[in-house]
């Protein structure tokens, strides 16, 4: 399926703003991943610890697809998300400018995954995604909860999401869904509606990952330890 054959390779980048990173690597048909420090981000990353042998928290809490630059000169993404603006709520598959991810306080970690799709397959992928925009596919918090249940019971991961609904997809389920339309299984053996952003980041399908990581998710114990260490350093300064 891919136009270019990739091995599993990760290119780690530093000293870039989110805007610089995305301007360089966000191309149509590629997958975007983000992680942050909000309560919801941390809750998802914590739940993804069940995917790791050492129970390390996941790095990613959201997944989306890059659409490309449009007539307005802005790069756009297609994603299933919950967004609340002044007197306006967007709930479901939608189009947004990539500039929403320029905020480094909200999006501390970013990745771009390139699966080497041809122009033809990229057009098909984006067409499938836009069809879900047009038909107003909803964001399903209920299905997200079903995925969290499956993470605790691995035997449920391959089965239909226990809280599945029609015409509903949360972020990574949306990405998995449109890639399946190309015959690409990003997370083999996992039901589409049990797919997490971390599953996509670990996809066995050969791809190239561009990674901009500023901070790893921290457990409450780690946060307490860091605060205690900071207090000890402060006390030492006061006593010297």
Q: Is the pLDDT of residue 9 over 80?
A: yes
**C-beta atoms surrounding 131 within 10 Å:** 13
Long-range Cβ contact pairs of 140-149 (< 8 A, separation 24 or more): 140/165, 140/168, 140/169, 140/170, 140/173, 140/193, 141/82, 141/170, 142/168, 143/168, 143/169, 143/170, 143/173, 143/193, 144/170, 146/193, 146/194, 147/173, 147/193, 147/194, 147/195, 147/196, 148/47
Residue 209 — φ and ψ, nearest 5°? Answer: -110, 125
Note the pLDDT tens digit of each residue in 138-185.
Answer: 998 899 999 999 999 999 999 999 999 888 999 999 999 999 999 999
Query: How many Cα atoms within 13 Å fall on the side-chain side of residue 106?
Result: 6
pTM of the prediction? 0.87
Pick the more confident residue, 165 or 201.
Answer: 201
Read off the tokens for 181: 């339309």
**C-beta atoms surrounding 225 within 10 Å:** 12
Read off the tokens for 69: 């630059």
Note the pLDDT tens digit of each residue in 31-80.
Answer: 999 999 889 899 999 999 999 999 999 999 999 999 999 999 999 999 99
Read off the tokens for 109: 């970690």
Q: Which residues pair with 62 in a beta bridge?
A: 34
Domains and CATH numbers, the chain: 9-239 (3.90.1720.10)
Q: Is the pLDDT of residue 5 over 80?
A: no
Note the pLDDT tens digit of each residue in 109-145.
Answer: 999 999 999 999 999 999 999 999 999 999 988 999 9
Q: Is the pLDDT of residue 221 over 90?
A: no
Q: Is the pLDDT of residue 220 over 60?
A: no
Which pLDDT does position 161 carry in this prediction?
A: 95
Which pLDDT does position 215 carry in this prediction?
A: 73
């Amino acid at each position: 399926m891919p136009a270019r054959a990739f091995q599993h390779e990760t290119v780690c980048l530093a000293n870039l703003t989110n805007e610089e990173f995305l301007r360089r690597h966000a191309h149509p048909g590629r997958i975007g991943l983000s992680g942050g420090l909000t309560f919801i981000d941390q809750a998802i990353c914590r739940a993804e610890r069940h995917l790791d042998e050492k129970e390390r928290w996941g790095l990613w809490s959201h997944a989306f697809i890059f659409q490309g630059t449009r007539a307005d000169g802005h790069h756009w993404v297609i994603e299933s998300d919950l967004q609340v603006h002044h007197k306006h709520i967007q709930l479901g598959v939608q189009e947004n400018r990539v500039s929403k991810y320029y905020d480094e306080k909200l999006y501390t970690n970013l990745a771009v995954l390139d699966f080497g799709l041809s122009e033809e397959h990229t057009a098909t992928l984006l067409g499938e995604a836009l069809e879900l925009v047009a038909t107003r596919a909803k964001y399903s918090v209920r299905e997200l909860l079903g995925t969290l249940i499956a993470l605790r019971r691995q035997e449920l991961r391959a089965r239909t999401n226990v809280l599945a609904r029609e015409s509903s997809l949360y972020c990574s389920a949306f990405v998995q869904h449109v890639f399946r339309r190309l015959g690409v299984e990003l997370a083999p053996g996992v039901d589409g509606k049990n797919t997490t952003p971390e599953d996509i980041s670990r996809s066995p399908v050969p791809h190239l990952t561009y990674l901009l990581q500023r901070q790893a998710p921290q457990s409450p114990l780690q946060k307490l330890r860091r605060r205690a260490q900071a207090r000890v350093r402060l006390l030492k300064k006061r006593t010297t």
